[in-house]
Amino acid sequence: MMSRQQRTMPTRHEIARYWLERKEASWSSHGWDYGEPACMACGWWKEEWDEESTIPKKWAASGLNRCHIVPRFMGGSDLCENLVLMCDVCHSGQPDYLDPADTFAYMRSVPGRMAAGFAELLAAYAAAKAAA
């Protein structure tokens, strides 16, 4: 029996499928490929893939976080339309916004993993993690 505190979140694949069906990538500055799971902000992807895996299994094993566009404590839901997928680094740097447009602007502003500036973001993440 599920307690009141437990909640059901959509799978990573369901979230990716939601955004694919809307053909919207307003949050992406690097392009986005449904068939190759990657962080929706910086484009990071897990380097070890089982090429024989199905797309749902690839998303499940992607290592990406299900991230709220509008946080729950600000009234955001656990529905696909309020969730995106980000790596640990991008998720830890994500500010809490009430307006989804601000979250999408943050996601577009994150430099790609290969871009200049990502090293600083990664260093800030490592420092914050070490301080916790």
Q: Give pLDDT, residue 20.
A: 85
Query: Nearest 5°: CA angle at 86, between 50 and 57?
Result: 25
Q: Give pLDDT, residue 3.
A: 47
Q: Which residues contact 63 (CB under 8 A, 6 or more apart)?
A: 46, 87
Q: Where are the domains of the chain?
A: 12-131
Q: Give pLDDT, residue 1.
A: 44
Q: Give pLDDT, residue 66.
A: 96
Whether residue 97 contacts residue 67, with contact meaning beta carbons closer than 8 Å, is answered with: no
Question: What confidence tens digit (pLDDT) does each residue in 6-17 have?
Answer: 568 999 999 999
Whole-model pTM: value is 0.78
Nearest CA to 94 among 74, 79, 116, 115? 74
Encode burial over 2-36: b for 16+ CB neighbours within 10 A, e otherwise: eeeeeeeebebbebbbbbeeeeebebbbbebeeee
Query: Nearest 5°: CA angle at 83, between 11 and 24?
Result: 105
